[in-house]
Structure formats: C-alpha cells, structure tokens
Amino acid sequence: MKRFMLAILLLPGVVLAAADSSPAMPEVPKDPVLEKAAAATARQDWTGAQSILQDGLSRSPSNPEYHNLYAYSVRKGANPDMNLVFKHYNEALRIDPKHRAAHEYVGEAYLMVGNLPKAKEHLSVLDKLCFFPCAEFSDLKKAIADYEGKVVKQ
C-alpha cells in the first residue's frame, strides 16, 4: 500500500519530466490578414480593418475569425450597419458555434440595439463554454451590468 501511495505521489513529477523532454511543437504560421487587421484595429482604423477583412473573406469565406473581426470593425466604426454586423457575427457562429469572441461581441452588439435578453443568451453560452471564467465571459458580463445600470438610472 505504501508503494502504491508513493507511486501516486511521484507520478505527476514523472509525467511533467516526460513532457519537458518532448520535442517542441512547431510554430503555427501567422495569418497575414489577421496581423494587418490587428494593426489597423490597434490604430482604430476601422475602415482599413474592414477593407483588409473583406479581402480576406473574399479568399476565405469560411474563416470564422475573419467574419468575427469584420463585424467587430463595422460595429466600432462610425454609423455601423447593424444588419451587416449581425450577419457576420452569426456567420462566424454558424461556422464555429464555440467561438467565444463572437459570442462576446454579438452580445455587445445586442446591447447597442437595446436587446438585453439576446445579450444575456450569449452570456449564458459563454458561461457553458468557459470551464473557468474567461475574458470573453467577464467582459460581456461587465457590459451587461453597465447597460443595466444605465437603464435603471434613466
């Protein structure tokens, strides 16, 4: 019995040591569309980000990240076309129903149009997707609380 307990206690160390000696994972190639879009977004160049992502979508229409970030850049720009925003967030989620950022961002978009119940639906989905609290869940939860605080004050 003592040997069994000792083996159980030492096993994690053996597993970690074995993991450390494994060859390094190959580096994932960077996506030039996402890199350029991220740079434009960092400058708050929403029109530039939209153009980059539209080009990316024309070449890769099944990329959920392109749809998500395109919708984000439209939503953040001046006078956003919310129909276009929802179209692309919904397409990102159709392609990848577990896309956490798309759930967060579409929830925020629903708050922009005053649809609190739909925003809460996406918060509920994130609650299930995030085993531990994740940034997307926390950010949407805060956005909902801020929205509810403004509605109560009015």
In this prediction the pTM is 0.80
As a whole number of angstroms, the distance between CA 35 and CA 77 comes to 19
Cβ–Cβ contacts within 10 Å for residue 67, how many? 27
Mean pLDDT along residues 74-91:
97
As a whole number of angstroms, the distance between CA 126 and CA 141 comes to 10
As a whole number of angstroms, the distance between CA 56 and CA 32 comes to 9
Mean pLDDT along residues 90-104:
98
Collapsing DSSP states into helix, strand and coil, what is residue 44? Answer: coil
Maximum distance among all alpha carbons in the chain? 70
Residue 137 confidence class, pLDDT cut points 50, 70, 90? very high
At 92, the amino acid letter reads A
For position 77, what pLDDT does the model report? 96
- Could you read off the pLDDT of 31-65 as tens digits, one per residue? 999 999 999 999 999 999 999 999 999 999 999 99
For position 28, what pLDDT does the model report? 66
- Whether the pLDDT of residue 107 is over 60: the answer is yes
What's the whole-number average pLDDT of the chain? 86
Residue 84 confidence class, pLDDT cut points 50, 70, 90? very high
- Whether the pLDDT of residue 19 is over 50: the answer is no
